[in-house]
Structure 1
Amino acid sequence: MSFRIGYRTLKTAVGAGLAVAIAQGLNLDFYGSAAIITILCISVTRRDSLKVSWARVVSCIIGMMISGVLFEVIGYQPWTLALIMILFIPIVVKLKMNEGIATSSVIILHLYTVGNMSLALIFNELLIIIIGVGIALLMNLYMPNSDQALRMYHKEIEEHFKTILHELSVYLRYGESEWEGKEIPETVDLLQQAKNLALRNIHNHILRYDDQYYYYFKMREKQFEILERLMPYVSQIHQTVSQSETVADFMEELSNSVSPANRVPYFLERIRSMRAGFEEMPLPKTREEFEVRSSLVYILHELEEYLHIKDRLWNHADKKKL
């Protein structure tokens, strides 16, 4: 059994230690709570960390205000604490700051434990909050660079697309194939993992919205859906006709051109040329030939949409540059 310490575990441990050291060094009461706040505020991404930290600070202030008033008016009793929670939790939920409930509860319990409101106690609690949240934000400044992993997903997905298109062209050409199709479920998993990582990468950029990888993987996901729709139609073509060779050649060329480069206009022109050629050919003589041609026309239609999906990605990228 392997034992591995992740970067987030390391950040949490170091951050908790720093928070306690600073709070204890300042002789604050309940200094251990600074570590709890730090642990709760360390998130997977920088944006999430900022959002969670803001929610915890605001909710703590709201909790201190409500509890300070009610404790002084009603008294430091268990039922007062219950009443505070009944009022406090719905307010925080309404403000969509649910993350702050646990942290605020710790601060409210501090006030209850002391049993007396004072400026010194309020200042003590504010410092604990600032130290805990501040250390968490400092720890979250470091996030591992995901560019290399994203490039790896990019490359693997393109290789799978090449294989799938190539094998479809082989089946169209010969009416049979020894392909086992393992790239299909593998591509599904790769696309999901790549999208998740790309989304996390977006949330790790605060001053810029770097979404090029995410849109690229979304584009490939939509193209993959088209390839999945094509497969039943390709598998139904057992009789080879001259048009099958033409479409097979096209798919083979498309397979060799899977890349980030935009060759969409060239391939769209190829499709228009093939359609024009099909229309000039003699009408099918048998029902089987008619069904084959119908399937090939549908395949061309789907491949055209496959190309348009990529074209839309390029248009999106161009607009982002303006």
Structure 2
Amino acid sequence: MVKIGYRTIKTAVGTPLAIWIAELLQLENSVSAGILTILCTQVTRKKSFLAAWHRVAACLLAIVLSFLIFETIGFHPISIGILLLVFIPITVMLRVSPGIVSSAVIILHLYNSHHITLDLIINEIILITVGIGVALIVNLYMPSLDATIRRKQIILERNFTKILEEVALYLREGDQSWSGEEITQTEKVLKEANQLVGRDVENHVLRSEHPYYDYFEMRTKQFAILKRILPLISRLPETSYSQCEQLAHFFSGLADSVHPGNTAVLFLEELESLRQSFDEDPLPKTREEFETRAHLLQLLYEMENYLELKQSFKESDVQHRNRQRKPQ
């Protein structure tokens, strides 16, 4: 079953509405109002406002250049070519090139008139106003993405828990039956979540911050660390049983504490205790023991970074909440 999106619905509502308004105003080429509405209906409010600005600026420029070139050179096909040679580079220079297509509609209206009058220019300006105005109005409604983003957060935390549990199981029992599907799924969820947050930011034009932006940024960096530690753990020999058991206990506790709250301080303290414990072990005597010690130290370093990311996130989150509560 094909799913109809909100943008499709808004386009289907806005286009006939713009044409109907243009017909009520008895505007010539009233259908063009619907074309402008289609072009300006975007997936976010910010993109819609930006599209409106591009088209308004480009259309007004098109009217001025059309008057100068058509009334000077004449209403000939060659005049359109000359106009476009001038018009397109200027729109690119002014960074309003997305408005070229809609402006072409206005240019052809003026060309087809064979004589540009003040009434015709006013007609085109009202057409632009109606078409773009309706698009902006229908685009004021944007469905909330909070519930969808929250679901992504829940899936992500569940996957993090599973990954950490599997690490603990491997360290404790050497179990290698894990398929690793959570790794692939987490990459997909992080990508989708960041896209959703980006869309939600653009739907709130006056808001530059988003409560979930830093969270998913933190989880993205933590996930990169988790992917780096997996090869390190697989290189630990079975002979280092006591060290693996200590690490397994650490990862089990970490798996039980994957949530938005702040428990990083406690695990950083536990990590420091592990480091001190490993430092007290006898110095390595063989190459294998030396490599094992190196892998352990690298693993502790990576997990320290993992936890510091969470700690920094919670500290910045607290500061952000305090700023919001501060009376203005």
Same fold (TM over 0.5): yes
Gaps of 5+ in 1: none
Contact 1:71–1:80 (CA under 8 A) maintained in structure 2? yes
Contact 1:20–1:31 (CA under 8 A) maintained in structure 2? yes
CA distance in 2, matches of 1:270, 1:223: 18
Mapping of 1:152-163 within 5 angstroms?
152-163=151-162
Aligned to 1:95: 94
Q: Describe the superposition over 1:229-253 as per-residue Cα deviations: whole angstroms up to 9, x where unpaired.
A: 1111111223142121111111111
Aligned to 1:116: 115
Q: Describe the superposition over 1:24-78 as per-residue Cα deviations: whole angstroms up to 9, x where unpaired.
A: 0110000000000000000010000001101100111011111111111111111
In the TM superposition, residue 286 of structure 1 has moved relative to its aligned partner by: 4.4
CA distance in 2, matches of 1:318, 1:66: 55
| 2:277 is the alignment partner of 1:257 | no
AA aligned opposite 1:46: R
Question: What is the number of residues matched between the two proteins?
Answer: 321
Q: 173-182 or 138-147, which moves further after superposition? A: 173-182
Q: What is the Cα-based RMSD across aligned positions, in Å?
A: 1.4
CA distance in 2, matches of 1:312, 1:44: 33
| 2:149 is the alignment partner of 1:150 | yes
Contact 2:225–2:306 (CA under 8 A) maintained in structure 1? yes
Mapping of 1:1-322 within 5 angstroms?
2-239=1-238, 240-321=240-321, 322=323
CA distance in 2, matches of 1:122, 1:210: 42
AA aligned opposite 1:273: S
AA aligned opposite 2:80: L
CA distance in 2, matches of 1:126, 1:220: 49
AA aligned opposite 1:18: L
Secondary structure of 1:262 counterpart: coil
AA aligned opposite 1:183: E
Q: Describe the superposition over 1:152-186 as per-residue Cα deviations: whole angstroms up to 9, x where unpaired.
A: 00000000000001101111112233211111111
CA distance in 1, matches of 2:95, 2:120: 27
In the TM superposition, residue 268 of structure 1 has moved relative to its aligned partner by: 1.4
In the TM superposition, residue 318 of structure 1 has moved relative to its aligned partner by: 4.1
CA distance in 1, matches of 2:284, 2:242: 11
Contact 1:175–1:237 (CA under 8 A) maintained in structure 2? no
CA distance in 1, matches of 2:35, 2:151: 37
Q: Describe the superposition over 1:85-131 as per-residue Cα deviations: whole angstroms up to 9, x where unpaired.
A: 10000110111112100011110111000111111101100000000
CA distance in 1, matches of 2:62, 2:311: 52
Secondary structure of 1:178 counterpart: coil
Q: Describe the superposition over 1:191-224 as per-residue Cα deviations: whole angstroms up to 9, x where unpaired.
A: 1111111111111111222422122112111111
Q: 289-298 or 302-311, which moves further after superposition? A: 289-298
In the TM superposition, residue 276 of structure 1 has moved relative to its aligned partner by: 1.4
Contact 1:175–1:238 (CA under 8 A) maintained in structure 2? no
CA distance in 2, matches of 1:245, 1:286: 22
AA aligned opposite 1:113: N
Q: 89-98 or 32-41, which moves further after superposition? A: 89-98
AA aligned opposite 1:279: D
Contact 2:42–2:48 (CA under 8 A) maintained in structure 1? yes
Identity %: 44
CA distance in 2, matches of 1:220, 1:53: 36
Query: TM (normalized to structure 2)?
Result: 0.94
Contact 2:145–2:196 (CA under 8 A) maintained in structure 1? yes
Gaps of 5+ in 2: 324-328
CA distance in 2, matches of 1:153, 1:289: 42
Contact 1:247–1:296 (CA under 8 A) maintained in structure 2? no
CA distance in 1, matches of 2:179, 2:292: 23
In the TM superposition, residue 319 of structure 1 has moved relative to its aligned partner by: 4.6
Aligned to 2:326: none
CA distance in 1, matches of 2:249, 2:155: 23
CA distance in 2, matches of 1:52, 1:305: 42
Contact 1:162–1:258 (CA under 8 A) maintained in structure 2? yes
In the TM superposition, residue 284 of structure 1 has moved relative to its aligned partner by: 3.6
In the TM superposition, residue 313 of structure 1 has moved relative to its aligned partner by: 2.2
Contact 2:45–2:140 (CA under 8 A) maintained in structure 1? yes
Contact 2:261–2:314 (CA under 8 A) maintained in structure 1? no
Contact 2:168–2:252 (CA under 8 A) maintained in structure 1? yes
CA distance in 2, matches of 1:289, 1:95: 65
AA aligned opposite 2:251: M
AA aligned opposite 1:203: E
Contact 1:244–1:296 (CA under 8 A) maintained in structure 2? no
In the TM superposition, residue 5 of structure 1 has moved relative to its aligned partner by: 2.2
CA distance in 2, matches of 1:52, 1:61: 14
